[in-house]
Amino acid sequence: MMKERDLSLWNHMFVTATKHIKKDVSLVRALIEKNELSTYFSTAQIEDALENSMHHSVAYANAYHPHYRILPKVYVDFFPVYKQIHDTLHKQAHACFMIDGCCASGKSTLAHTLAQLFPVHIFHMDDYFLRPEQKSGERLSKPGGNVDYERFDKEILSSLRHQKDVIYQPYDCMSQSLKEEVKVKYSPYSVIEGSYAHHPYFQMDAIKIFLYCEREVQLQRLKQRSPNLYERFVHEWIPMENTYFETFDIRNQADFILDTTTF
């Protein structure tokens, strides 16, 4: 049941959804192609209706007066996080939200929708993985050492602490080189997203959000998302993440914990 104090957030999500929701008619088209959709209309007529008439007929609207809105499922899944951020934005003039958690738990998806719903700028930990010359045995043996947290703190978090514009160089893992400088005008609300975002090296006053899912679901998502890198996730990156989580008790240090297994 919708609570009265949450109405403004739900309304905001309804309005935002109209700008970002996409019509997915792939299932209907598949049924048409298989001749499994019983209809008096031609395929061409159905295609035209799907593309141009995704709404109730005038007769239906007059008879039943339907009143509802369609939201992307992800908006509902992550609602508890949106509420936390929505309430914070109404109470604080400045805030930083740091999203950490196991790989394939939905960190990037959450960050993407936050950028749709709220006036926040997103910074990604994936832009700060170690460069080849930094990958010493000593460095990689450290919990959380798989990311250049020193440079991330210097280029991004330091600027946010001092409420200054951010200038940083993302690292491209494919080319193994630093990209051109990115300049971001200071925003009072920012989101740090990615593995190792809660590293204790970061002395940042922030709201920490931790996402996780059951291992079986995690592996299934990784197979679908990154089949070519699946073995590296299983034998290299997941163990490194787990060591980091356990060493620093990352999950229990979070302000907000969300299980995304059923998402």
Which are the contacts of 246, defined by CB distance < 8 A and separation ≥ 6? Answer: none
**Residue 63: per-residue pLDDT:** 87
Q: Which residue has the higher pLDDT, 162 or 69?
A: 162
Q: How confident is the model at residue 15 (pLDDT cuts 50, 70, 90)?
A: confident
Q: What is the pLDDT of residues 18-45, one digit of tens each?
A: 777 665 666 666 766 776 665 666 667 7
Lowest mean pLDDT among 3-17, 92-106, 226-240: 3-17
51 pLDDT exceeds 70? no
Of residues 239 and 45, more confidently modeled: 239
At 102-156, the pLDDT tens digits run 999 999 999 999 999 999 999 999 999 999 999 999 999 999 999 999 999 999 9
* Residue 119: DSSP 8-state: S
Please report the sign of the dihedral spanned by the C-alpha atoms of residue 243, residue 197, residue 168, residue 222: positive
Q: Is the pLDDT of residue 232 over 70?
A: yes
- Rounded to whole angstroms, what are the CA distances from 43 to 33, 38, 52, 253? 9, 11, 14, 56
Per-residue pLDDT at 47: 67
- How far is Cα 147 from Cα 158, in angstroms, rounded to an integer? 17
> How confident is the model over 173-217, as pLDDT tens digits?
989 999 999 999 999 999 999 999 999 999 999 999 999 999 999
Measured at the alpha carbon of residue 23, what is the angle toward residues 17 and 27, in degrees to the nearest 5? 135
Answer yes or no: are the C-beta atoms of 189 and 89 closer than 8 Å: yes
- Predicted confidence band of residue 68 (pLDDT cuts 50, 70, 90): confident
- How many whole angstroms separate alpha carbon 157 and alpha carbon 209? 17
pLDDT for res 132: 94
SS3 202: coil
* Mean pLDDT confidence for 144-169: 97
**Cα atoms in the 13 Å half-sphere on the side-chain side of 243:** 13
Please provide the average confidence, as pLDDT, over all residues in the chain. 89
Which residues lie below 8 Å from residue 233, measured CB to CB, with a gap of 6+? 103, 222, 226
Per-residue pLDDT averaged across 32-61, rounded?
68
**Local structure of residue 51 (DSSP, 8 states):** H
Question: Which residues does 32 contact at the CB level (< 8 Å), separation at least 6?
Answer: 43, 46
